[in-house]
Amino acid sequence: MSAIKNSVLWLTGFTAMSKPGQQFVKMMNKRGGRGKGKHGHSSLRIFNYHRVLPGRPRFVIDAIDVQEFEQQVKILTSCFNVCSLEAAIPALQRGELPPNSVCITFDDGYRDNYEYALPVLVKYNVPATVFLTTDFIGAQKFLWHDLVLWAFEVTTMECMTFDELGLQDARLVEQEDREKVAVYVLEKLKTVTTARRDELITMLYDRMAVNSRPQASYMLDWQHIREMSDLGMTFGAHTKSHVILSTLDDEALEEEIVGSKKAIERHLPSPVTSFAYPNGRKDDFDERAKKILRESGFQCAVTTDRGLNDRSQDVYALNRTAAWERNPYRFYGRLLLEGIFNL
Ligand SMILES: [Zn+2]
């Protein structure tokens, strides 16, 4: 089955914008097959972006080229109902979500969301929600994964052994080698406590003979955020420090969730009602986090689990879709087929 489906995905990826492709789209619209959930109501797809940058810089995770981003937004605005997350969730719960609804979200609060994504969003007149890691907003601080990537980008070491991370003579000569090792190290560091992770990153810099830190401020500041808010963008919380919530005790958990909400509300007039779990996989949050979210006025929370959301979906564990296709035709084809298969 998966071989057949993959073939169909591949084929449709290349033909969705052609004449037969357009006929196929019309047919699916007529049947109402696209975007319908298990219970016959419309389903919601929530896109998950991080960084939008010109070109394809290496040692940056989850970045999309600004031109590819514009192509995706163009497709979304021409074929789907792009709405704000804050408007979509109550409509989804009431069973009144318009067909083919999608939301656009960004995680972390990178400055490139203002510099490169915002002009595209304004051009196509679509809203988006940005989830802010509030301790990093307007601060000269770097998210831990960006610190790790920086070390791999600038190191001149050709080989590294780091027993604590299970690395023996890891080759660092070519960029591809370094990228592979960097991804491995990032995954390893997700499994340890914050204190141990920071300790290991310090050791990593030492082991890789890296003395520098990334220079420019690369996160949004509150002035950017106010300007984006004035242009129709909304802001959700993503904790204060980007810690994985399931690792925290009750007190720290509440401080990370409620503290990030209050920090944003000090700068913006509207209440913060949406939340994104750092890392966002099932093991990264638990019922304690959901309870705090419910009780502190959040209306919804998004994960990084893949899929659509129908009316029965837990609004404190909403699925999202990473912007996984760079080729616009394949992007469109996959949107169609994943809607049909309800993936
Ligand atoms: Zn994040």
Q: What are the helix (H) ranges across 44-100?
A: 66-79, 85-94
Sign of the dihedral through C-alpha 307, 133, 298, 113: negative
- If you measure from the C-alpha of residue 39 to the centroid of ligand 1, how many angstroms do you get, rounded to a whole number? 31
- If you measure from the C-alpha of residue 29 to the centroid of ligand 1, how many angstroms do you get, rounded to a whole number? 35
Closest CA to 72 of 115, 2, 8, 126: 126
- If you measure from the C-alpha of residue 138 to the centroid of ligand 1, how many angstroms do you get, rounded to a whole number? 16
Two structure tokens written together for 186: 């990032």
Residue 6 pLDDT > 50: no
* Predicted confidence (pLDDT) per residue in 77-104, tens digit: 988 999 999 999 999 999 999 998 999 9
Q: Tell me, what DSSP letter sits at residue 43? A: P
Q: How confident is the model at residue 10 (pLDDT cuts 50, 70, 90)?
A: very low
Taking the complete model, does pTM exceed 0.75, yes or no? yes
Over residues 273-293, the mean pLDDT reads 96
CA dist 218 and 208 (Å) reads: 23
- If you measure from the C-alpha of residue 238 to the centroid of ligand 1, how many angstroms do you get, rounded to a whole number? 7
CATH class of the domain defined by 41-139+218-325? alpha beta
- If you measure from the C-alpha of residue 27 to the centroid of ligand 1, how many angstroms do you get, rounded to a whole number? 38
- If you measure from the C-alpha of residue 167 to the centroid of ligand 1, how many angstroms do you get, rounded to a whole number? 26
Q: Which residue has the tokens 């009602």?
A: 273
- If you measure from the C-alpha of residue 243 to the centroid of ligand 1, how many angstroms do you get, rounded to a whole number? 9
- If you measure from the C-alpha of residue 96 to the centroid of ligand 1, how many angstroms do you get, rounded to a whole number? 30
CA dist 170 and 141 (Å) reads: 28
Q: How confident is the model at residue 335 (pLDDT cuts 50, 70, 90)?
A: confident
What is the DSSP pairing of strand 167-171 with strand 159-162? antiparallel
Q: Which residue has the tokens 């890691």?
A: 133
- If you measure from the C-alpha of residue 279 to the centroid of ligand 1, how many angstroms do you get, rounded to a whole number? 6
CB contact at 8 A, 238 and 131:
yes
Over residues 117-130, the mean pLDDT reads 98
Q: Tell me, what DSSP letter sits at residue 135? A: G
CA distances for 79 relative to 68, 218, 241, 245, angstroms:
17, 33, 37, 36
Over residues 178-206, the mean pLDDT reads 92
- If you measure from the C-alpha of residue 87 to the centroid of ligand 1, how many angstroms do you get, rounded to a whole number? 23
| Residues in Cβ contact with 238 at an 8 Å cutoff, skipping those fewer than 6 apart | 107, 108, 109, 131, 132, 133, 134, 260, 275, 276, 278
CA dist 47 and 31 (Å) reads: 24
| Residues in Cβ contact with 151 at an 8 Å cutoff, skipping those fewer than 6 apart | 201, 204, 205, 208, 210
- If you measure from the C-alpha of residue 272 to the centroid of ligand 1, how many angstroms do you get, rounded to a whole number? 17
CA dist 244 and 167 (Å) reads: 24
Domain residue ranges of the chain, discontinuous segments joined by +: 41-139+218-325, 144-207
* Predicted confidence (pLDDT) per residue in 20-58, tens digit: 444 444 444 443 334 454 445 689 999 999 999 998 777
- If you measure from the C-alpha of residue 108 to the centroid of ligand 1, how many angstroms do you get, rounded to a whole number? 5
Task: Region of 108 please: left (phi>0), alpha (psi -120 to 50) or beta.
Answer: left
Q: Tell me, what DSSP letter sits at residue 271? A: P
- If you measure from the C-alpha of residue 304 to the centroid of ligand 1, how many angstroms do you get, rounded to a whole number? 10
- If you measure from the C-alpha of residue 267 to the centroid of ligand 1, how many angstroms do you get, rounded to a whole number? 21
CA distances for 83 relative to 43, 72, 87, 98, angstroms:
13, 15, 7, 10
Q: How confident is the model at residue 9 (pLDDT cuts 50, 70, 90)?
A: very low
